[in-house]
Amino acid sequence: LAQRIPVTGSIIVTTPQNVALLDATKGIELFNKVGIPVLGVVENMSTHICSNCGHEEQIFGIGGGDKLSEQYHIPLLGRLPLNAQIREHADQGKPSVIAMDDAADSYIDIAKAVWQQIERVPQRARDDKRIF
């Protein structure tokens, strides 16, 4: 697919666990092989937020996104928590960016970081890759 459709860049989404990092590494290497820039890494389920007390802990490990960022010299675009409210709102058809302030901030910050990385892709490369 990447060889048929023009792509400005890719975003690697991973979780902190080592097994997920192995898959993410394969993705990065594939994108590098086909010449698609990796714009950065998003660490999903970075922390768990208790729906009863709000306590936050790293049940899946710590620093997986940081490891990829350092190993491949790509930015860590952000971290997203494992939060039951995100799923509940999604089930109700409410995007987190509208339904929750804290989650909204994380998603908006990641979107801004992605845009900054897209702006770093040379203009000619971006123009050549327009598909609409």
pLDDT tens for each residue of 82-102 = 888 888 888 988 888 887 767
Task: Encode pLDDT of 11-45 as tens digits.
Answer: 999 999 999 999 999 999 999 998 899 999 999 99
Architecture of the 10-121 domain: 3-Layer(aba) Sandwich (3.40)
Q: What is the pLDDT averaged over residues 60-82?
A: 94
Q: What is the pTM of this model?
A: 0.84
Determine the average pLDDT of the residues in 3-9: 82
- pLDDT of residue 132 exceeding 50, the answer is no
What span, in angstroms and rounded, lies between the C-alpha atoms of 21 and 36?
19
* End-to-end alpha carbon distance in the chain: 16
Its sign, for the CA torsion 39, 27, 29, 63, is positive
Take residue 54 and report the two structure tokens written for it: 């709000």
